[in-house]
């Protein structure tokens, strides 16, 4: 009879996951015994401290890890790519705490809200380190279930309940496709770990490998909000509480595209000709669908949702390139994009609280003059999403286009340039509404001057600093991105 040998566990490598998961337990249990008026400050404080501690732990691990290695019997990876993603996810969580604090809908559910936010972030930190198909699916479901609940956290809002139900149904469908594809790949190769899949594809039944790969790409494209698998995104972004929407737009996108790159490069290098072309097609559809649909949107959250679909195309473009330059371009692009997405939704959140109504282009009239800092910040984000300086996306798009041109796909770079030109219309429309729309259409907050929210303004200021800082300090950030993907063996030279 064989004896069971317990796997060696690297607790240090798991520290970002354990800190946030432990914080969720503390928040959820202690909040049960606290008075209603104390729950929110306590839960927010614990969540903020946990995000700072987990982010610091991920930074320390990044500095210490020169080469990656598998832990927990190689089920997850301790490497700089995972730690880079964990830093971004923890930063998104911390900013979401600041944006969420004054949200009226969470007054009596503060403990549950911040516990779910911590648990979702913990799941994403686990997900980005996944090194086999089982842990990948576990991490995906871990954070997805939390996001389904967070979308409906304001149970009295029918729009939130509807959005949550749509997200649950479509998200479960995407997860099922990914799981089915994983079963095909496992059946064909006899391996779950990424390296084992790569080694087993040469002798495997090609039909099952290709079918499984296609389903896995579809499942991950659902999470990345890439067209034509984006159908949940506009309704969920509009119906969810705005701080939750901002968190999803930043953190979920980071996790999904980084895992997509890790999985395809590590597990399917032999199928490079298939998955690079498949991603290129998804990129073109996302850029076309996202930009054209955004043009006709009047609701600002739906406009930003279609903008997110368009940027999913830009984020998948360097993955489709399949080269080391694409890996660096992706990670660099994610830094300003995640910050600006959170910042844009933070501005929407404060406008919602002023008006107590959905934010549209019409009722953004005069906002730039009423709130000079927030209006200027929103204008910066809109110009940044287009790809104008002084935000990091300006350089990020050059790196992305360089990666696909280096691959020999200049046509894909041209598609990206055309999509960028189209996006000028609807991004500039937001700026026009804030500064140039007739004053008689402006909506003034009831009761006089708009309410002040220093935490939210601080969050917006932080995102502005990251957006501009990623442009000013581009060289060291690109070097960090290069270190994070150095261990990956990209199939395209």
Specify whether the CB–CB gap between 181 and 213 falls below 8 A: yes
Helices and strands counted in the chain (H then E): 20, 2
* pLDDT string in tens for the chain (493-residue length): 566 666 677 788 899 999 999 999 999 999 888 888 888 999 999 999 999 999 999 999 999 877 778 788 788 989 999 999 999 999 999 999 999 988 776 567 888 999 999 999 999 999 999 999 999 999 999 999 999 999 999 877 888 889 999 999 999 999 999 999 999 999 999 999 999 999 988 777 889 999 999 999 999 999 999 999 988 999 999 999 999 999 999 999 999 999 999 999 999 998 999 999 999 999 999 999 999 999 999 999 999 999 999 999 999 999 999 999 999 999 999 999 999 999 999 999 999 988 888 899 998 988 999 899 999 999 999 999 999 999 999 999 999 999 999 999 999 999 999 999 999 999 999 999 999 887 644 444 444 445 567 889 999 999 999 999 999 999 999 999 999 999 888 877 6
Residue 49: phi and psi, rounded to 5, are: -65, -40
CA separation for the pair 387, 419 (Å, rounded)? 11
Specify whether the CB–CB gap between 470 and 384 falls below 8 A: no
Helices 392-407, 300-321: crossing angle, 10 deg rounding:
40
13-48: burial string, b at 16+ Cβ within 10 Å, e else: bbbbbbbbbbbbebbbeebeeeeeeebbebbbebbb
Q: Name the token pair of 61.
A: 């691990």
Q: What is the dihedral of CA 372, 375, 380, 384, to 10 degrees?
A: 180
161-198: burial string, b at 16+ Cβ within 10 Å, e else: ebbbbbbbebbebbbebbbebbebbbebbebbbbebbb
**pLDDT the model gives residue 387:** 92
**pLDDT the model gives residue 10:** 79
Specify whether the CB–CB gap between 338 and 344 falls below 8 A: no
Bond prior to 390 in cis (omega within 30° of 0): yes
Q: For tokens 């020169």, name the residue.
A: 66
CA angle 74, 79, 80 (to 5 degrees): 165
Q: Which one, of 274, 313, 316, 332, lies nearest residue 484 by Cα?
A: 332
Compute CA distances 447 → 100, 355, 362, 450, whole Å: 23, 11, 21, 8
The answer, as to whether pTM is greater than 0.85, is yes
**pLDDT the model gives residue 334:** 97
Residue 232: phi and psi, rounded to 5, are: -80, -25
DSSP alpha helix (H) spans, 65-193: 80-100, 110-127, 133-151, 158-189
Q: Name the token pair of 463.
A: 């995102």
By CB neighbour count within 10 A (0-12 exposed, 13-18 middle, 19+ buried), where does 134 fall? middle
**pLDDT the model gives residue 75:** 87
By CB neighbour count within 10 A (0-12 exposed, 13-18 middle, 19+ buried), where does 49 fall? middle
**pLDDT the model gives residue 29:** 92
Q: Name the token pair of 297.
A: 């949107």
CA separation for the pair 363, 352 (Å, rounded)? 10
Question: What is the secondary structure of 214-243 as a DSSP string?
Answer: HHHHHHHHHHHT-TTS-TTHHHHHHHS-HH
Find all residues with CB under 8 Å of 60, minimum gap 6, and list them: none
**pLDDT the model gives residue 446:** 47
Residue 68: phi and psi, rounded to 5, are: -80, 160
CA angle 323, 82, 334 (to 5 degrees): 60
Would you give the DSSP letter of residue 448? S
């Amino acid at each position: 009879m064989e004896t069971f040998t317990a796997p060696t566990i690297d607790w240090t490598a798991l520290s970002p996951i354990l800190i946030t998961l432990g914080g969720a337990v503390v928040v959820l249990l202690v909040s049960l015994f606290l008075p209603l008026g104390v729950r929110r400050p306590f839960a927010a404080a614990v969540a903020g401290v946990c995000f700072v501690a987990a982010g610091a732990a991920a930074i320390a691990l990044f500095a210490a890890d020169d080469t990656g290695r598998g832990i927990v019997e190689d089920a997850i990876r301790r490497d700089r790519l995972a730690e880079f993603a964990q830093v971004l996810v923890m930063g998104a969580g911390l900013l979401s705490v600041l944006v969420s604090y004054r949200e009226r809908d969470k007054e009596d559910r503060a403990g549950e809200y911040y516990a779910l936010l911590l648990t979702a972030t913990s799941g994403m930190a686990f997900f980005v380190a996944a090194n086999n198909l089982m842990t990948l699916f576990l991490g995906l479901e871990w954070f997805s279930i939390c996001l389904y609940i967070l979308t409906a956290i304001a149970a009295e809002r029918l729009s939130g309940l509807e959005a949550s139900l749509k997200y649950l149904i479509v998200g479960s469908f995407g997860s099922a496709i990914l799981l089915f594809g994983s079963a095909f790949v496992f059946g064909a190769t006899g391996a779950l770990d990424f390296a084992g899949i790569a080694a087993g594809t040469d002798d495997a039944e090609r039909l099952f490998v290709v079918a499984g790969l296609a389903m896995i790409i579809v499942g991950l494209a659902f999470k990345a909000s890439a067209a034509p698998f984006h159908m949940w995104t506009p309704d969920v972004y509009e119906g969810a509480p705005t701080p939750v929407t901002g968190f999803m737009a930043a953190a979920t996108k980071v996790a999904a595209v980084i895992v997509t790159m890790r999985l395809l490069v590590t597990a399917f290098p032999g199928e490079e000709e298939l998955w690079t072309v498949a991603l290129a097609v998804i990129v073109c559809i996302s850029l076309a669908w996202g930009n054209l649909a955004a043009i006709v949107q009047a609701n600002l959250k739906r406009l930003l949702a279609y903008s997110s679909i368009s940027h999913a195309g830009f984020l998948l473009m360097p993955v489709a390139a399949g080269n080391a330059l694409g890996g660096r371009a992706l990670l660099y692009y994610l830094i300003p994009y995640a910050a600006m997405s959170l910042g844009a939704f933070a501005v929407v959140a404060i406008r919602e609280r002023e008006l107590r109504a959905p934010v549209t282009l019409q009722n953004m009239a005069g906002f730039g003059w009423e709130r000079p800092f927030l209006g200027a910040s929103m204008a910066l984000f809109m110009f940044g999403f287009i790809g104008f300086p002084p935000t990091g996306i300006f350089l990020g798009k050059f790196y992305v286009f360089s990666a696909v041109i280096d691959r020999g796909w200049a046509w894909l770079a041209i598609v990206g340039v055309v999509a960028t030109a189209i996006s000028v219309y609807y991004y500039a429309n937001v700026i026009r509404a804030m500064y140039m729309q007739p004053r008689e259409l402006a909506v003034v907050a009831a009761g006089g001057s708009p309410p002040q929210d220093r935490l939210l303004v601080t969050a917006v200021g932080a995102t502005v600093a990251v957006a501009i800082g990623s442009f000013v300090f581009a060289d060291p950030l690109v070097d960090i991105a290069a270190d994070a993907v150095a261990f990956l063996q990209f199939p395209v030279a």
